[in-house]
Structure 1
Amino acid sequence: MLKDKRLRIVIGHYGSGKTEFSVNYAVKLAKMGKKVALVDLDIVNLYFRSREKSNILEEMGIRVIGSSVKGAAVDIPAISSEVLMPLQDKSYEGIIDVGGDPVGARVLGMYYQYFIPEEYDMFFVLNANRPETQTVEKAIEYLRKIEDAARVKVTGIINNTHMLKSTTIEDVLRGQELAEKLSQEANLPIKYISAIESVAKELPKDLEGEIFPMTLYMREEWMV
């Protein structure tokens, strides 16, 4: 993780698990003693947004930046000017959770001038169980559309093939096959293989990419 660039942009289709990965990434950095800001740029999706966990994350020392309109019952696509803070302040490790389609990625395009190659990574979160990204052709088409909208290039792939709490080793390994094909087609490295902790510890150690155990912060206990 510490070899990644200072700014980490996380993109992926709805249901890919990009927000869960973003939150887990921020938590892991905070536990390493890093100064962390998590920017929620998702103004399209109404559910499972990282800013919904602001209280928990801020207790861990993570600065959460989301809508400029405060209020639990208010949902307006308003972006806080604080977004610029981690982009400009190099004392922060920044994680940027972007809306899950090319429309959502246009928001990131507003800030493209801040993303110089030496300072950012953009990770494409791949879930082989999503119909829209379950083939190489579909996945690379989706990836390129997001790049075009965001005006920023993807630098790595995350295999996050899951079925939430029902995820199996077989799910992850099937997703890894797709990730490897996408890696070859797009000439991008597989950076992480993320999975719930019970599955992550059972995965083979020789897979391409770093195994990334995750806690389901975005799922309430009563959710399946």
Structure 2
Amino acid sequence: MLNDNRIRIITGHYGSGKTEFAVNYAAKLAKSGKKVALADLDVVNPYFRSREKENLLSEMGIKVIGSSIKAHAADVPAVSAEIFAPLQDESYDVVLDVGGDPVGARVLGRYYNYFKEGKYDMFFVINANRPETQEVENTIKYLKEIERVSRAKVTGLINNTHLLKSTTVEDVLKGQKLAEEVSKKLNIPIKYISVLEHVARELPSNLEGEIFPITLYMREEWML
């Protein structure tokens, strides 16, 4: 992950687990000693937004940028202008947590000038347990639409197939098969296999993509 481009855009279908991956990604960057900014660009979904964990992330040394309205519970589609600072300041490693589907990705158009080839990565998160992305063609349709509205190209795929705390190795391998088929059709590499730590230990070591153990930062202990 340290070899990814400085600006990382995390996108995908609604409910795929983008935010959980984005938060874990930012946390790993910070633990490696990087100067990290995590920008919450989700102006569509009022649930499970990375800015809700601002206190925790700040303790990790991560600069969190969210709504320009300073109220975490406010469902207001307003992104802070603070985001321009880390986009322009190359001392930052930037993670952009984007809202789901093409509707959520539309916000990226505002920052199009920063997405030059070789300067950014856009990762498309796949959860094969979501009804709309269980088949190759539908998954590709969502990916292509996100590319169209954002005017940016997907550079890597993330297999984030899960059933929350009930995730099994079989779930992950099902998602891996889908990701491999999408990868082959679009010639886009699988970058990461995002999976709970205890499941990660049971996965085969020869899978395409880096196994990326995650912690469920976005779900409270009492949640399933």
Q: Same fold (TM over 0.5)?
A: yes
Inter-partner Cα distance in structure 2 for 1:19 and 1:133: 17
Q: 1:200 is aligned with what amino acid?
A: A
SS at match of 2:25: helix
Counterparts of 1:19-34 in structure 2, within 5 Å, are 19-34=19-34
Per-residue CA shift, 1:97-139, capped at 9, x if unaligned? 0110111111011111111111100000000001111111000
Counterparts of 1:37-186 in structure 2, within 5 Å, are 37-186=37-186
Q: 2:83 is aligned with what amino acid?
A: V
Runs of 4+ in 1 over 4 A off after TM superposition: none
**Per-residue deviation at 1:71?**
1.6
**Per-residue deviation at 1:141?**
0.4
Inter-partner Cα distance in structure 1 for 2:115 and 2:64: 20
Inter-partner Cα distance in structure 2 for 1:53 and 1:29: 16
Q: 1:90 is aligned with what amino acid?
A: E
Q: 2:113 is aligned with what amino acid?
A: Q
Residue 15 of structure 1 is matched in structure 2 by: 15
Q: 1:206 is aligned with what amino acid?
A: N
C-alpha contact 2:51 2:72 (8 A) present in aligned 1: no
Residue 3 (1) aligns with residue 3 (2): yes
- Structure 1, unmatched stretches of 5+, are none
Per the alignment, do residues 4 and 72 of structure 1 end up closer, same or farther by CA in structure 2, a change over 3 Å counting? closer
**Per-residue deviation at 1:83?**
1.1
Residue 200 (1) aligns with residue 200 (2): yes
Q: 1:10 is aligned with what amino acid?
A: I
Q: 1:153 is aligned with what amino acid?
A: K
Residue 188 of structure 2 is matched in structure 1 by: 188
Q: 1:194 is aligned with what amino acid?
A: S
Q: 2:9 is aligned with what amino acid?
A: I
**Per-residue deviation at 1:74?**
2.2
Q: 2:162 is aligned with what amino acid?
A: H
**Per-residue deviation at 1:47?**
0.1
SS at match of 1:111: helix
**Per-residue deviation at 1:75?**
2.0
Per-residue CA shift, 1:183-213, capped at 9, x if unaligned? 0011100000010000011100000000000
Q: 2:222 is aligned with what amino acid?
A: W
Q: 2:116 is aligned with what amino acid?
A: I
Per-residue CA shift, 1:153-210, capped at 9, x if unaligned? 0000000000000000000001000000000011100000010000011100000000
SS at match of 1:145: helix
SS at match of 1:103: helix
| RMSD, aligned α-carbons | 0.7
How does the TM-score come out when normalised to structure 1? 0.99
SS at match of 1:104: helix
Q: 1:155 is aligned with what amino acid?
A: T
Q: 1:182 is aligned with what amino acid?
A: V
Paired residue total: 224
SS at match of 2:123: strand
Seq. identity, %:
71
SS at match of 2:63: strand
SS at match of 1:30: helix
Per-residue CA shift, 1:13-58, capped at 9, x if unaligned? 1111100000000000000010000000000001001000000000
SS at match of 2:8: strand
